[in-house]
Amino acid sequence: MDITVLDALTYAGDARSIQDLASVSLVEGDIADAGVVDPLVAESDLVVHFAAESHNDNSLNDPSPFVRTNIVGTFTLLEAARRNDVRFHHISTDEVYGDLELDDPAKFTASTPYNPSSPYSSTKAGSDLLVRAWVRSFGLRATISNCSNNYGPYQHIEKFIPRQITNLIDGIRPRLYGAGANVRDWIHVDDHNRAVWAIIDGGRIGETYLIGADGEKSNLEVVQELLAAFGRPEDDFDHVTDRPGHDLRYAIDASKLRDELGWRPQHTDFQDGLAHTVDWYRSNEDWWRPEKARVEASYASQGQ
Ligand code: DAU
């Protein structure tokens, strides 16, 4: 199998991340550019649409790239897949469903109404709806997955867990937005990717599958687990300015994925997964170091 990665190589992309993979080639380009997208899709059997502007804090500072990449980019890919009758899988987020109360026993399912909060999540919600419309109106052979928060190697250091790991490596205290009570449903990136394979292999066309590994943790709990991994006291962190409109809690009911496709997460021990992730960032400083000062300066300008 040959895989072509189309990536705009913005601040969040790094060609080194895939350079050692056999049968994977990189094309540098923009998914919103039909001139780039069309010929690539024409020679493909399957499009897996991972590309997105993905960071909520950035979308609050400047929503425009989110509209262009997430909405116009998805539209451009869908049109190319339609013209060439190519199977399409769309990667999305649980954030399209908005948030849950901390004490609500409910979890998100594929029938939860869309209720996104941020410029980021609203553009992902819009992209999901485009995919659904292309299935219904044009018969596009597409599936959608909505996954919870990923952690693991190769995650950009603007994200919560790698930001705190690289802070701790640098002797900086972790930064917790607000009180740290917000809950995220953590899943290892390899489990996410295995679920995407399962949906590509066996998912029903037109269906949406939620991906999650029952990994709910408050942000405070995550910071304290990281502090423990570094042998630091559990109160050795700073509270910083909260994110405007900060979603309280996400939680995924992945029973459809489990029951229909037999998928199970393999990384079920979060502490162990975090320890391996810490090791990866310790061993791969060359990969993240060039971005660290810029990311921290950007957060500092927002009081975070
Ligand atoms: O739920 C899936 C989503 O998870 C994905 O669709 C997004 O692309 C991904 O960025 C992530 O969104 P979040 O906004 O939940 O992730 P983030 O890593 O930015 O933050 C996780 C939580 O940690 C959130 O409650 C905000 C908080 N936080 C974040 C940072 C960067 C802090 O307390 N301190 C921080 O320094």
Read off the CATH number of the domain in which 40 is found.
3.40.50.720
User: Mutate which of 56, 58, 150, 274 to test ligand 1's pocket (most atoms within 8 Å of Cβ)?
Assistant: 56
**Six token digits for residue 210:** 């939620």
- Can you tell me whether residue 274 is helix, strand or coil? helix
The pLDDT of residue 226 is 98
Position 172 scores a pLDDT of 97
155 lines ligand 1 (CB under 6 A): no
- Is 94 among the catalytic positions? yes
Domain range holding 14? 3-156+188-218+250-276
Distance 191 CA to ligand 1 centre (A): 18
Nearest atom (ligand 1) to Cα of 124 = 6
Sign for the pseudo-dihedral over CA of 117, 61, 274, 199? positive
- ipTM over 0.95 threshold: yes
The answer to whether residue 291 sits within a structural domain is no
For residues 156-183, give the mean pLDDT: 98
Residue 182 resides in a domain: no
**Active site annotation includes 225:** no
Marked catalytic residue, from 53, 79, 94, 296:
94
Write down the pLDDT at residue 217: 98
Cβ(219) – ligand 1 distance below 6 Å: yes
Distance of CA 162 to the CA centre of its chain: 13
pLDDT at 228: 98
Mean pLDDT throughout 171-197? 98
Ligand 1 proximity of 237 Cβ (cutoff 6 Å)? no
The fraction of the chain above a pLDDT of 70, given in percent, is 100
- Look at residue 187 in the predicted model and tell me its pLDDT: 99
pLDDT at position 242 is 97
Q: Does 20 reside within a domain?
A: yes
Q: Read off the pLDDT of residues 215-261 as tens digits, 9 standing for 90 and up.
A: 999 999 999 999 999 999 999 999 999 999 999 999 999 999 999 99
Bridge partners for 93 per DSSP: 147
**pLDDT value for 199:** 99
Q: What is the mean pLDDT of residues 201-227?
A: 98
Q: Separation of 63 CA from ligand 1 center, angstroms? A: 17
Nearest Cα residue to atom 31 of ligand 1 = 160
Quick check: is 243 in a domain?
no
Q: Which of 162, 257, 282, 248 is nearest to 207 (CA)?
A: 257
Q: Quick check: CB of 149 below 6 Å from ligand 1?
A: yes
How many domains does the chain divide into?
A: 1
Whether 214 is catalytic:
no
Establish if 238 belongs to a structural domain: no
pLDDT at 189: 98
Q: What is the pLDDT of residue 214?
A: 98
Mean of per-residue pLDDT scores for the chain: 98
pTM recorded for the entire structure = 0.98
- Is any atom of ligand 1 closer than 6 Å to the C-beta of 141? no
Assigned domain for 228 exists:
no
Q: Of all protein residues, whose CA lies closest to atom 30 belonging to ligand 1?
A: 160
Check pocket membership of 70 for ligand 1, CB cut-off 6 A.
Answer: no
Q: What is the pLDDT of residue 192?
A: 99
Domain assignment of residue 242, yes or no: no
Predicted local confidence at residue 268, as pLDDT: 97
251 token code pair: 């939680």
pLDDT value of position 94: 98
Confidence label for 283 from pLDDT (cuts 50, 70 and 90): very high
Mean pLDDT calculated for residue range 189-208: 98
Angle, in degrees to the nearest 10, between helices 160-169 and 285-301: 100
Query: Atom 10 (ligand 1): residue with closest C-alpha?
Result: 55
pLDDT tens column, 18-57: 999 999 999 999 999 999 999 999 999 999 999 999 999 9
> Which residues are CB-neighbours of 6 under 8 A, at least 6 positions away?
27, 29, 31, 36, 37, 40, 51
The angle at the Cα of 264, spanning 259 to 268, to the nearest 5 degrees, equals 140
